[in-house]
Amino acid sequence: MSKYVKPVIVGGIVAFVIAGGLSFFVAAAGGDAGMIPALIGGFFGIFTAYIMANLVGNQKNVAASDADKQAAVAFQPQPGKAMLIVMREGFVGKAVGLNVTVDGKVVAQIKSPRFIAVPLEVGQHEMEVAFGGLAGQQNRPDTERFGTGAGEVVVYSAKVNMGALKNSIILQRINASPELSAKLRGMTMTAAIA
């Protein structure tokens, strides 16, 4: 069964209920609304199906433990490892989960405003961020390559940049600083996928 069947069914129900309700009220008032209830119902049905289809790729997330968050905001990687922090801010698409893939493995999905901290082995890495569901087809993913050393903290900010035909996800490397630590303390940290 396709993952888009449920959004289409719910959108159809919304369209039917709104069109039927408006037709009933107009008829009860003694008027003839013509096609207006069907158009309004159709608009809300399509809008509902569209929003739900964008959220199809979302996964259930778990908040990180307090100890993990404290280590992340203090920029303290595990001994002999590096730490990757990816934070997401902004209003555009904030309810849609952004998949973070490192070296070919999905390590987390984050919504806005949230962040993740992932321990990494020392060496070269490739990270990709992309939406799932219908939102994935409407947004260009971004890929970054970076190297890490023992005890190093690498931080990226992921934002959605609006485009005329297609949006782009933009990764920007930022410095681990006391200001950033304070900002992260006020955000929810999502646990990485084990």
What pTM, to 2 d.p., does this model score? 0.78
Give the chain's domains with CATH numbers: 5-54 (no CATH), 66-189 (2.60.40.10)
Query: For residue range 94-126, what is the model confidence (pLDDT) as tens digits?
Result: 778 889 999 999 999 998 899 999 999 999 999
Q: Which two tokens stand for residue 77?
A: 């990687």
Query: For residue range 51-77, what is the model confidence (pLDDT) as tens digits?
Result: 777 777 777 878 889 999 999 999 999
- Higher-scoring residue by pLDDT: 50, 43: 43
Strands 153-161 and 167-174: antiparallel
